[in-house]
Amino acid sequence: MGRMKRKNKVALITMASLVAAPVGIASAITASTAPSSQSKYVTAVAQRGNITQTIATSGTIQPVTETALSFGAPGMVSAINVQPGQRVRAGEVLAQLHLAPAKARLHQAQDLLLLDQANLAADLAGTTPRALQSAQAAVAVAQDHLAAVRQDLSTTVASNNVALTIGTTAVNQAQVALAIDQSSLLVAQQRFAIAQVMAAPATASMSVPVPAEPVAIDYGIAASQSLISTDQGYISADQSALDIANSMNASCTSQACSSLAQQWIGQDNQAIKRANLSIASADTVVADLAAVSKSESQLSQINANNTSQLDAASQAVTAAQQRLSDAEGAVSVIQQPASALVIAADQRAISAAKHALAVAQEMLSHSQIVAPTSGTVGEVNIFLGEDMYLFASTAGDIVIERSGQFEADVLVSDSLINQIRLGQRVEVTPVGDTAPLGGTVEQITPMAPTTKGVPSFPVTVLLDRPRLSLYAGISANVAITIAHRSNVLLVPTSCVHTNGRHSYVKLLEGGRSVNKSVKLGLSSGVYTQISSGLQQGSTVILANLNKPLPSFANLFKARKALGQAGVPPGPKISPLARVKPKR
């Protein structure tokens, strides 16, 4: 379905850090005296419990007034089922692309997965006529697949050429129109300069500044806007002169006086007319310059999109060629018993086919825009037959207006953003309140503004059931859950020591301190999970009272070790999970 994005939101950010909230553990921390020495130790008992790792940040709560929806896949718009002002319900299909290409890719991915699974089964079963037949069928399918992706590559090249031609033509047309209008402005300004010299009586000595050897290209945005301001000043003076001439004409008692007054009236009217024509020409030049800039920006976007699409199509051809080569190689060795390497290759092929199937399913789902909530359609910014690129639109393809919901807008640093994914649970606690509100990560914006030299990505959290007492713009503390473990072995973080990649705790055994190597799991400012190396009920040493108190260095070392211990940080942001840029 289409991805959602927000407009006009300002996020407030504090320093984001990893914290955890363990549940169901009571650590026994005691002060004891070892029987074999005078040292006193503060100890704790390793126990099982639950631990939740979060990213803590802060932001602002805003009412949700608009939801901007966009396609998450490329294609041509085949149906628009709504219009501005129409009421819609959650789950209603608002628009969709031509589904045939996406369905074809899905069916092809399903077929390839079945063939790869059949190949693995045949290799495990040994050489049989059926296995040979399956291998030959895999070659035929791989050949068809290669032909299809080669056709896709040809289609992409042709489509890119058309888009590039359209974009280049638009730039050329805008530049030609600009050159013509700049020439018209030059002529108009020169004619006004001549007419201004003839203006009488009050402005007879005034002249319009015109370059000694002007050329049309001299009139850029700054020059044109300056010319407009200057000419408007002359119009005011010419109007005063016209008023004087009209007054003189009304009071003339002789034919000579009247003739002179009529001459001045004509000259002043001519100067005003020429000034207005020059101003209109300058306005046109300013608009032309904006049109040239816009068309050049669109051409740049087209070039970027063409490069991305061509790279993807070329990579698909390379992968298909390799697949065909593998299938042909499988036929050549089908008479031989399958080796461990062959089985491993089959398993890798199945993993790749499953990934391709997941991508095809996601592309199909993103070929429709589905209303995430009830509301009223505010904008429809697409048309039937439009070729949608995988760019983000700041306005959205379809905008739904709604009320009664709230969201929290936060920023997450570039070092933590890869641990955030859509659908993660979030706790939002408004400032001055103690009861958190539940919510989910609804949007991750891929464009990161820089705050104090650090890129920070906007993340939007949709609240589940906000209270009626919420105020727009109120600050809130936000905790995004990125990992959770239940019934795991936990110790206080202060007892964990880290030296490079090696982590250990100190156990109290027979009144002595003994180092014990451990493997770390999730961690927080209070507790750390021990994945291996320690048993439940072990007594760990927190501090030696005969030595200086430990600093917070252990906490930061433990966090660093956590990242080195291979704990999954969460998936990177897929392009399909992001918003489509403005075309």
- What gap in Å lies between CA 110 and CA 393, rounded to an integer? 32
Contact 276, 264 (CB under 8 A): no
Q: Are residues 201 and 264 in contact, defined by beta-carbon separation less than 8 angstroms?
A: yes
201 preceded by cis ω (within 30°)?
Answer: yes
Where are the domains positioned within the chain? 75-99+367-397, 104-171+310-364, 179-301
Question: What φ, ψ does residue 331 adopt, rounded to 5°?
Answer: -65, -40
Residue 282 burial (CB count, 10 A): 27
In a 10 Å sphere around its CB, with 0-12 CB exposed, 13-18 middle and 19+ buried, how is residue 236 labelled? Answer: exposed
Report the C-alpha gap between 324 and 347 in whole angstroms.
16
Share in percent of the chain as helix, strand, coil (round to 5): 45, 25, 30
Retrieve residue 201's tokens: 């009586």
Helix (H) or strand (E) holding 369, with range, is strand 368-370
Alpha carbon of 398 to those of 4, 370, 394, 462: distances in Å? Answer: 10, 10, 11, 19
Q: Give the Cα separation of 92 and 69 in Å (integer).
A: 13
Per-residue pLDDT of the chain in tens (583 residues, 90 and over written 9)? 555 544 443 333 333 344 444 444 444 444 444 444 445 788 899 999 999 888 888 888 887 777 788 887 888 888 999 998 898 888 899 999 888 888 888 888 898 899 888 888 877 776 667 767 777 888 888 899 899 888 988 888 988 888 889 889 989 998 898 889 888 888 888 888 888 877 776 554 456 665 445 677 778 888 888 888 888 888 888 888 888 888 888 888 888 888 888 888 888 888 889 889 989 988 999 898 989 998 888 898 888 888 888 888 899 899 989 988 888 887 776 656 667 887 888 889 999 999 989 888 888 888 888 887 788 888 898 888 888 775 545 568 898 877 677 888 898 888 888 888 888 899 999 888 888 888 888 777 766 777 777 788 888 888 887 665 677 788 999 999 888 889 999 999 989 998 888 999 999 888 888 999 999 988 877 899 999 999 899 999 888 776 655 455 554 555 555 444 444 443 333 333 333 333 3
pTM of the predicted protein model: 0.40
* 52 strand-pairing partners: 484
Kindly report the length of the chain.
Answer: 583
Tell me: the pLDDT tens digits for 42-86? 889 999 999 988 888 888 888 777 778 888 788 888 899 999 889
Q: Is 550 left (phi over 0), alpha (psi -120 to 50) or beta?
A: beta
To which residue do tokens 């609804």 refer?
442
Specify the amino acid at residue 468.
Answer: L
Amino acid at 239: Q
Contacts (Cβ under 8 Å, ≥6 apart) of 446? 392, 457, 573, 575, 578, 579
Q: Which helix (H) or strand (E) holds 188?
A: helix 129-198
CATH, domain range 75-99+367-397:
2.40.50.100
Helix and strand tally (H, E) in the chain? 6, 24
Residues 109-125: b if buried by 16+ CB within 10 A, e if exposed: beebbebbebbbebbee
Q: Strand 66-70: give its sheet, edge to edge.
A: 3-5, 66-70, 398-401, 375-380, 87-88
